[in-house]
């Protein structure tokens, strides 16, 4: 059995999980999420516990078992607590601001970068004097928020020589020594 797949999912108060054919819907105080699942995998909800089972030990079914259990667990956590990611812009002149759901980045290019975000994500930007600008993203959908953070980070990845770029708060970037003086 899959170590992850066989674990039951505890459903907290205020969250409902419903299964219709091959669609799992999770509703909670932070929103509603749906996930299509493989027809071979079955999801059962009894009381406040959700279990995911597979029909046999075929390789595809084994791989899907743990995957769908993790996806449903992430949905339950998302609609009850939500997910929060914090990105930090490190570099001279790097700035960020938001107008509603549109982020504007100044990352050392000749032009500013504008990024429109989906309505499921809440945005907050902080720019304080003598501190690096910060972007705080909150959402119930772990997959969506991770994808948006990866896209933002791809605008200017942290580089190893000066450490400049967009990084997650608390992320450690391995630094390299620069050029050393040549021999005579």
φ, ψ for residue 126, nearest 5 deg = -130, 130
Task: Convert the pLDDT of each residue in 140-167 to its tens digit.
Answer: 999 999 999 999 999 999 999 998 999 9
Q: How far apart are CA 35 and CA 38, in angstroms?
A: 10
Query: How many Cβ atoms are within 10 Å of 13's Cβ, its own excluded?
Result: 8
Domain ranges of the chain: 9-80, 83-168
| Mean pLDDT for the stretch of residues 121-147 | 94
φ, ψ for residue 99, nearest 5 deg = -120, 95
Query: What pLDDT is recorded for position 4?
Result: 84
Distances (CA, A) of 60 to 52, 63, 65: 15, 5, 9
Bridge partners, residue 128, by sequence: none
83-168 is classed CATH 3.30.70.580: no
Query: What pLDDT is recorded for position 182?
Result: 64
> Considering the chain, what is the average pLDDT of its residues?
91
Query: How many Cβ atoms are within 10 Å of 118's Cβ, its own excluded?
Result: 12
Percentage of the chain modeled with pLDDT above 90? 75
Q: How far apart are CA 134 and CA 124, in angstroms?
A: 8
Query: What pLDDT is recorded for position 6?
Result: 86
Query: What pLDDT is recorded for position 5?
Result: 85
* Sequential DSSP letters for 54-71: -SS--HHHHHHHHHHHHH
Query: What pLDDT is recorded for position 138?
Result: 95
Residue that wins the pLDDT comparison between 4 and 68: 68
Domains 9-80 and 83-168 share a fold: yes
Task: Convert the pLDDT of each residue in 14-35 to its tens digit.
Answer: 999 999 988 999 999 999 999 9
Query: What pLDDT is recorded for position 179?
Result: 84
9-80 is classed CATH 3.30.379.10: no
Query: What pLDDT is recorded for position 80?
Result: 93
């Amino acid at each position: 059995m899959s170590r992850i797949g066989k674990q039951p999912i505890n459903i907290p108060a205020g969250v409902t999980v419903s299964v219709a054919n091959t669609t799992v819907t999770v509703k909670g105080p932070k929103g509603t999420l749906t996930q299509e699942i493989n027809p071979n995998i079955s999801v059962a909800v009894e009381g406040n516990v959700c279990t995911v089972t597979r029909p046999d030990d075929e390789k595809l079914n084994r791989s899907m078992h743990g995957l769908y259990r993790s996806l449903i667990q992430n949905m339950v956590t998302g609609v009850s607590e939500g997910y929060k990611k914090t990105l930090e812009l490190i570099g001279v002149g790097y700035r960020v601001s938001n107008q509603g759901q549109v982020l504007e980045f100044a990352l050392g290019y000749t032009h500013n970068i504008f990024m429109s975000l989906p309505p499921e994500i809440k945005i907050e930007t902080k720019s304080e004097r003598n501190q690096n600008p910060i972007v705080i993203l909150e959402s119930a959908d772990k997959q969506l928020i991770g994808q948006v953070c990866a896209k933002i980070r791809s605008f200017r990845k942290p580089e190893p020589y000066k450490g400049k770029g967009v990084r997650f708060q608390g992320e450690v970037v391995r630094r390299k020594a620069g050029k050393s003086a040549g021999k005579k």
